[in-house]
Chain A
């Protein structure tokens, strides 16, 4: 019964196609091509989700994120840092201590560091697909164990474009600057 119904429909469709004008056939072809292009677009998005836009704008974006990161560190703004740091970030401070994200954001680390000023002096970015590495030098001034200190550090950060945004996945610095 079901088969017969389908068959009947197929027959009427076939007749309908035969009766179509050239304009209708053209419209149908355009629709088919549009559907095909939409399918390709969806597949591409599914295979490569969140591909970053062009090189220059990505490099500029990374450098602005670095500026924002230093600014958030200076202001001890954990909310801003939380948005920039990946949950699995590997952070090595200038003393060589390894910190997790929660340790970075716990407040204890940044607060105890007593940073009064921290700002990048120079930085350069290297982009490879959805991964960016930034190398630079920053200057830091603060108070530690009741004593003021100043230091100049070299840093290296790795950023990865994930789910539509850049996240810092690794950050290391050293006070040895040759």
Chain B
């Protein structure tokens, strides 16, 4: 009886540790993909972006435009070079879903004039058949106070 109780307790502790490890793995993988996204956007690496964005992506640009995955890829190809600096970010694991929020700074040229804009983003990542893909992303301009 005691042996069964100990075994049960060990199994419970093992399951909890495994779940915590899974969450830590998910967090680090998704944050690595966030970095890859930033680099791919700057380098206009469409293939890399294609692999991390879900086909049914729901995207809201910092200027308020709602875009599909195809529109995001086309927009990335067409715009002039943008310098993206992620100033802070944090990931929250919710089972097979990870929510990442952070602050980014965009610097570039538009109609020959330099611009700088700061936004707060929320990205949602989902584990689909063992691969993490971004299913939604929205950036809200941060008002200067």
- Complex CA gap A18/B58 in Å reads 66
Interface size on A, residues (CB 8 A): 31
- Given contacts A96-B143, A169-B99, whether A162 and B94 have CB atoms under 8 Å apart is yes
Tell me the B44-72 residues at the A interface (CB within 8 Å): 54, 56, 58, 60-66
Tell me the A109-128 residues at the B interface (CB within 8 Å): 126, 128
Q: Are A160 and B95 in contact (CB under 8 A)?
A: yes
Nearest chain B CB to A52's CB is how many angstroms away? 12
Q: Are A158 and B140 in contact (CB under 8 A)?
A: no
Interface size on B, residues (CB 8 A): 32
Contacts of B95 in A (CB 8 A): 130, 160, 162
- Complex CA gap A92/B141 in Å reads 10
- Complex CA gap A169/B122 in Å reads 11
- Complex CA gap A177/B128 in Å reads 31
Binding site for A on B (CB under 8 A): 54, 56, 58, 60-66, 92, 94-97, 99, 101, 118-120, 122, 124, 126, 128, 135-136, 138-143
Binding site for B on A (CB under 8 A): 86, 88, 90, 92-98, 126, 128-131, 133, 135, 154, 156, 158, 160, 162, 169-170, 172-178
20 further A-B contacts with Cβ under 8 Å, apart from A92-B120, A96-B120, A130-B95, are A88-B92, A90-B122, A95-B140, A96-B119, A126-B56, A126-B58, A126-B135, A131-B97, A131-B126, A154-B60, A156-B60, A156-B136, A158-B122, A158-B136, A169-B99, A170-B124, A172-B138, A174-B60, A178-B61, A178-B63
